[in-house]
DNA sequence: TTAAATTCCTGTAAGC
DNA sequence: TGCTTACAGGAATTTA
């Protein structure tokens, strides 16, 4: 599942390739009409000014005041070579090159909006702070968590408290600081909040250094896999021993998501 | 405003 | 082997 490290890995590959390039044609391939590919064709004739990221969203400002917004959803991939199937959109670039957006389960998005106009993207509009930005301090994190009665896992996955954290890294960060994922967010101590902030930053940074996590579907622009899967401590490890205490990792469902934790290290 | 539930979608795995 | 069913989940939408 692409989260911040995976999307940032893709961004870093796209930036040197796409910056300054002209889009000759932008077309839906096997994409039905609908908001997930809204106004895509408008990208034709515009130049790509850069490749930025907010949370799990890729933002490509275009030369005539538009912005190409890309979200990988669950199975989305931005590729340089034509893949075997499930291509939803294609950008034909100058010099005869092309970019392919592949997405088997159709949870991804690939649309053009007026720059900064995120009316159709409420999650992006209300996105929390960037965790790898120095401005993401323990004090800011604490203020965003204040008054939240939901579980700490749902709170950090919700994108409004902090941007870019999804199912894998929320489980991993909570394991690192020994907090049970069902703990009510507002009940964390000041010290726990500070430690959790550090754990989120660390796990995202470490995964980024490994090119992200390929648990099943994630691929980078060259079609390669992320290597962080070998360093996951709890996610997907049901029944396997805890790397810290040896107890079997447990799987529960929390906020409609598979959730893995150590019942000895992370007590309610 | 918050939060929980539901929906979208299809490849994969499990079960018979 | 082949069919049917359950499951995975990010964000939008709906409901409370």
pLDDT given for residue A213 in this prediction: 94
Residue A32 has pLDDT above 80, yes or no: no
Could you identify the residue written with the tokens 């930005």? A133
pLDDT given for residue A268 in this prediction: 79
pTM score, whole prediction: 0.96
pLDDT given for residue A72 in this prediction: 96
Q: Tell me, in Å, how far CA of A63 is from C1' of C7?
A: 43
pLDDT given for residue A262 in this prediction: 96
Q: Which of A111, A104, A131, A117 is nearest to A204 (CA)?
A: A131
pLDDT given for residue A263 in this prediction: 95
pLDDT given for residue A165 in this prediction: 96
pLDDT digits (tens, 9 = 90+) for A165-201: 999 999 999 999 999 999 999 999 999 999 999 999 9
* Active site (annotated) includes residue A130: no
Residue A112: CB atoms within 10 A of its CB come to: 21
SS3 A67: strand
pLDDT given for residue A122 in this prediction: 95
Residue of A2, A129, A131, A181 marked active site: A2
pLDDT given for residue A34 in this prediction: 84
Q: Tell me, in Å, how far CA of A168 is from C1' of C6?
A: 22
Q: Kindly give, in sequence order, each residue whose CB lies less than 8 Å from that of residue A39, ignoring residues fewer than 6 positions away.
A: A66, A111, A112, A113
SS3 A170: helix
């Amino acid at each position: 599942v692409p989260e911040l490290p995976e999307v940032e890995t893709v961004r870093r590959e796209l930036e040197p390739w796409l910056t300054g390039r002209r889009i000759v044609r932008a077309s839906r391939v096997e994409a039905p009409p609908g908001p997930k590919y809204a106004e895509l064709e408008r990208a034709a004739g515009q130049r790509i000014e850069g490749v930025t990221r907010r949370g799990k969203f890729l933002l490509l400002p275009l030369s005539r005041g538009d912005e190409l917004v890309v979200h990988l959803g669950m199975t989305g991939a931005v590729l340089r070579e034509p893949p075997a199937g499930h291509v939803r959109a294609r950008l034909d670039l100058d010099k005869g090159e092309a970019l392919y957006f592949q997405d088997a389960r159709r949870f991804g998005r690939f649309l053009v909006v007026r720059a900064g106009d995120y009316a159709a993207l409420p999650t992006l509009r209300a996105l929390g702070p960037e965790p790898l930005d120095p401005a993401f301090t323990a004090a800011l994190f604490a203020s965003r968590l204040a008054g939240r009665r939901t579980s700490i896992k749902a709170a950090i996955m919700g994108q409004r408290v902090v941007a870019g954290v999804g199912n894998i890294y929320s489980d991993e960060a909570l394991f690192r600081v020994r907090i049970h994922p069902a703990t009510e967010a507002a009940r964390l101590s000041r010290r726990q909040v500070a430690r959790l902030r550090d754990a989120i930053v660390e796990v995202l940074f470490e995964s980024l250094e490994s090119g992200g996590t390929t648990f099943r579907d994630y691929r980078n622009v060259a079609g390669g896999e992320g290597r962080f899967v070998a360093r996951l401590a709890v996610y997907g490890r049901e029944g396997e021993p805890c790397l810290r205490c040896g107890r079997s990792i447990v799987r529960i469902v929390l906020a409609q998501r598979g959730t893995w934790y150590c019942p000895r290290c992370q007590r309610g």
